[in-house]
Amino acid sequence: MISPYAIEVKQLTHSYFTKKAEMIAIRSITFSVLPGEFLVIVGPSGCGKSTILSLIAGIFPYTSGEILLFGQEVRGPSDKIGYMLQKDGLLDWRTVEGNIHLGLEIQRKNTSADLSYAKDLLRQVGLAQTLKYYPSQLSGGMRQRVALVRTLATKPEILLLDEPFSALDIQHKLHLEELLVRLLTQQKKTAILVTHDLEEAIALGDRIMVMGGQPGEIRQIFDVPETLRNLSPMKTRGHPDFRPLFEKLWREVERP
Amino acid sequence: MKKWLKSAWFEKGAISPAHAHYLRKSRLTQLWVWLLRFGILISLIWLWEWSTDSGILDPFLFSSPSRIWQLTSQLASSGELFHHIWLTSWETIVGFLLGTATGIALATLIWASPFLSQVLDPYLVVLNSMPKVALGPLFIVTMGAGFGSILAMAIAITVIVTTLVIHSSFQGVDASYSILARSFGASHTQIFLKIIFPACIPDMIATLKVNVGLAWVGVIVGEFLVSKAGLGYLIIYGFQVFNLTLVMVSLFIVAIISTVMYQLIAWLEQRLLRYRLVS
Ligand SMILES: Nc1ncnc2c1ncn2[C@@H]1O[C@H](COP(=O)(O)OP(=O)(O)OP(=O)(O)O)[C@@H](O)[C@H]1O
Ligand SMILES: [Mg+2]
């Protein structure tokens, strides 16, 4: 049977093991994401947000539960997924060009069409002139934009973004949010984004999942009203429905 | 003098009066550094010559610059010297390249299998703490008194420490790099080739630098033990016949050649690590 969901997470539990102890990072997490939908995860530091993304990306096996991508169980990394980690992880011995080609090289997709697509993305984030620069010559925000391009270059169907805009100034952040939303709606991509920024969560998300506790659990999932959903990220922040939702989210995140 | 200081060379490439002032200052400092370096060298040589001439030092024990120079040109003109230089340099280069390459290969092997790494760990620790030159007699009985033993000595002295250093360098690579590559679906081999190996090239060059020095130790000691030729042989021979001028000549040549090799690697480092020098 074909699943209607792009991502299904069922009763997901994960523990990190060390010699001394078992550390339960997340417990019984269940949610699903429709194709083309944008889910935002917010929650306090250490509640397991990055862990969830890593498990969906198939970086390491989960302790129990189930994760399905388009109905298929996750057994390891998949070309369908583009994962942008919390740390930008740019390779400092490669130029910007070499860095945005990394995923294409690994997946052996480096045809000239793919390479020029990557270049075009770089132009769209406003960094065309840095093609031959080394990461050490870039600012923190520029590095994150390069990392975003690297993630998008392999044309993944599902994007997992772990605080991608945390090092950006507000101007670049808004600009990149616009770009991201445009790319995602154009190409009908599914996305999960983790952020600490509640404004960003409302501006980008179709739904917002609030997590908390240790081990991490889902507190509540909010639907972003239709009125805000179809607005561009910049306009969302000025809409009358924006504040009430922001305050509801705030209270939920703050709740002990 | 004043005019000369303002001359073209000191301010060449200046783009403004302030920049010219800066350039003049830094080039003048540079000039002093070189003048003093040569000054120290020449006074040391002169002091040496003078004290052996005037009998303060015994030239029979301490030789003298003029004697060293005489013997060097004599050995050089007969062509004998170059044979020794060539042999020792060749042993050293082959020894340290093979030692480093084998060390990196071993490190790769145990990186690929953490299990093997755990199993071999105590052996590596014991081999590493072992003074390698003590293995000399073993090499001689198994490989004969010649090139093979000398090479074995140079390799033995470099390979284990290279393995340990490079392996820990492999393990020290930031895990987020590997997670990133994994997220693109990279295989174990791809992670090694695209992430781990290139990330450790600076450390590999650092080990090359250390290994040049170590390989010299291996080769010179090897030649002490077995050889009929080479700079190490000249040193031990000169010592045995109490020709200390010959010992000094060999020491100077060793110093010069090992410096040249070290500089070559430093140059290679600059070429390969340009990305660190930008910005
Ligand atoms: N590799 C690991 N080994 C052991 N424990 C880990 C590991 N990674 C994360 N943890 C623990 O799991 C918990 C969840 O970590 P995670 O990185 O998923 O949190 P997070 O919600 O992403 O936090 P942040 O907002 O600070 O990024 C934390 O308590 C952390 O200490
Ligand atoms: Mg995190």
- Determine, for residues A85 and B179 on separate chains, whether the beta-carbon distance falls below 8 Å: yes
Place of tokens 């154009």: A186
* Topology classification of domain A1-80+189-255: Rossmann fold (3.40.50)
Rounded distance from Cα A88 to ligand 2 centre (Å): 12
Is there a contact between A207 and A37 (Cβ–Cβ < 8 Å)? Answer: yes
Q: What is the arithmetic mean of pLDDT over B89-112?
A: 95
Is there a contact between A168 and A141 (Cβ–Cβ < 8 Å)? Answer: yes
Q: Residue of the nearest CA to atom 4 in ligand 1?
A: A16
Q: Which ligand is nearest to the CA of A26?
A: 1
- pLDDT tens digits for range B237-278: 999 999 999 999 999 999 999 999 999 998 988 888 877 665
- Cβ neighbours of residue B276 closer than 8 Å, sequence gap 6 or more: A92, A136, B202
- What are the extents of the domains in chain A? 1-80+189-255
- Beta strand A158-162 pairing with A81-84: parallel
Q: Which ligand is nearest to the CA of A25?
A: 1
Strands of A38-42's sheet, edge to edge? A81-84, A158-162, A190-194, A38-42, A207-212, A217-223
- pLDDT tens digits for range B155-200: 999 999 999 999 999 999 999 899 999 999 999 999 999 999 999 9
Confidence category of residue B279, pLDDT binned at 50, 70, 90: very low
Mean predicted lDDT score pLDDT of chain B: 90
Ligand 1 binding pocket includes A48 (Cβ within 6 Å): yes
Q: How far apart are CA A34 and CA A162, in angstroms?
A: 19
Q: How far apart are CA B125 and CA B119, in angstroms?
A: 12
Residue type (1 letter), B275 = Y
Among the partner-chain residues A78, A85, A91, the one whose CB lies closest to the CB of B185 is A78
Q: How far apart are CA B179 and CA A57, in angstroms?
A: 10
Is the model's pLDDT at B2 over the cut of 80? no
Atom of ligand 1 nearest to the CA of A54: 18
Ligand 1 binding pocket includes A23 (Cβ within 6 Å): yes
- Beta strand A217-223 pairing with A207-212: antiparallel
Q: Residue of the nearest CA to atom 7 in ligand 1?
A: A16
Q: How far apart are CA B38 and CA A141, in angstroms?
A: 50
User: Which residues have CB less than 5 Å away from ligand 2 (the ion)?
Assistant: A 50, 86
Is the model's pLDDT at B201 over the cut of 60? yes
Q: What is the arithmetic mean of pLDDT over B15-20?
A: 85
Q: Using an 8 Å CB-CB cutoff, list chain B residues near A163.
A: none
